[in-house]
Every structure is written in C-alpha cells, then in structure tokens.
C-alpha cells in the first residue's frame, strides 16, 4: 500500500471517529496540522504531548479510539484499557520479547505457566518499573495500578526504539503522581548534598 493511500485511509478513519463521537468539529486543515505536528516532533511521546497541547484536540485526550488513530499516524502503537490488557496479548504483540522461559509457576488461571526472562517493564507511579514476566506479574501490577488510578489507558508500542517507550501509561493522575515522586526524590537528594 502506498503512503498517499494509507494517509487517506487514516484521514477518513479519523474523520469517522470524530464525527461518530461528536467530540469536536475538525476541518481538513486540522488533519494537515496533525501531520505538521508529527514532523515537528522529536519522537512519539513529544508528538502526543504536542497534539494535546493544541486546544482543538484537548477534549479527545481520554478517547482511546482517537489515541489509537494518533498511534497509527505515528507507528505501530496500540492503546488498551487496563481491563482489556491480557498477558497472552502481550506475548503475541511483542515478538522480540517473551521467548526465553526462566521457570514455570502457577498462574491466576490455576495452570502452570512460564515466567519469561526477556519480559517487558511496566512503569510504576514511583518512577520504578515492574517486570511483567508472566500472567501473575501482570495481574498483580494491574490490581495495584487499578486500585490507585482506576481503569487507565496503556499505550503498547512493540517496535519502540527504547525499552522504556514500549509501555506507557496514558493517564494524567498517574503522570502527576510519578512527577511528584521524582520531584520529591530530587529534593531529598539535593538536601543530602547540602551541608552547613
């Protein structure tokens, strides 16, 4: 499929989503604006930040279909809600991970299942990460995350260049919590380095 045809299909899909949801009216110039924002952005994360910094798109920040469309404009990323996230889908979606079985253990479904050594890291709000080596690890991470933040959106990008870009959390409360933790950690480190 050539690039022009693909862009046209994406434009039509975006128009359809927007008109169905009646979130906001976007004219043809806005689609060109998305392409300009993409070209001016240095990486996918910056592209998303720049799109939602634009007043025309702010109201669509929580819309998973709009986020998926933006991902398709940029690359191979997919947005799913926490409740939709399944371990088997991760294994299928990330062909470069989940190949090296480290050991097996009982999984939440009651069956023995593999724990993978080459697993993904999922972000935590305290600026750490959790290795998701099996279904049990994923379900534990989901439970803890949902308890604090609800059914948030997760962006999965199997072909991201950096390992920390492969799984992102699309939630303002989560991002704010992480930012506050980082600021607190920085302030503590600064105070430890100061002597009087």
pTM score: 0.60
Enumerate the H helices of the chain as residue ranges.
Answer: 3-21, 28-40, 44-53, 64-74, 87-93, 135-149, 172-192
The structural domains of the chain, with segments of one domain joined by +, span 3-75, 80-181
Task: List CB contacts of 85: < 8 A, sequence separation 6 or more.
Answer: 138, 142, 154
Show pLDDT as tens, one digit a residue, over the chain (196 residues): 566 666 666 666 665 655 554 334 344 445 567 767 876 776 667 778 888 888 888 888 777 777 766 766 666 678 889 999 999 999 988 888 999 999 999 999 999 999 999 999 999 998 899 999 999 999 999 999 999 999 999 988 887 777 888 898 878 888 888 888 888 888 888 888 765 5
Burial class of residue 101, CB neighbours in 10 A (0-12, 13-18, 19+): middle
């Amino acid at each position: 499929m050539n690039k022009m045809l693909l862009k046209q299909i994406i434009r039509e899909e975006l128009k359809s989503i927007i008109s169905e949801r009646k979130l906001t009216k976007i004219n043809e110039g806005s689609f060109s604006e998305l392409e300009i924002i993409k070209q001016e952005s240095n990486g996918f994360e910056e592209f998303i930040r720049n799109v939602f910094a634009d007043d025309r798109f702010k109201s669509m920040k929580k819309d998973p279909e709009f986020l998926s469309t933006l991902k398709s404009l940029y690359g191979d990323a997919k947005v799913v809600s926490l409740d939709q996230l399944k371990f088997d889908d991760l294994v299928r979606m990330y062909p470069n991970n989940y190949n090296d079985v480290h050991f097996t253990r009982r999984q939440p479904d009651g069956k023995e299942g593999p724990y993978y050594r080459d697993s993904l890291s999922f972000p935590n709000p305290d600026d750490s990460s959790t290795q998701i080596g099996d279904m049990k690890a994923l379900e534990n991470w989901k439970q803890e995350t949902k308890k604090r933040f609800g059914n948030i959106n997760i962006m999965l990008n199997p072909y991201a260049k950096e390992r920390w870009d492969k799984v992102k959390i699309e939630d303002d409360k989560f991002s704010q919590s992480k930012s506050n933790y980082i600021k607190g950690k920085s302030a503590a480190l600064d105070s430890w380095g100061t002597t009087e």
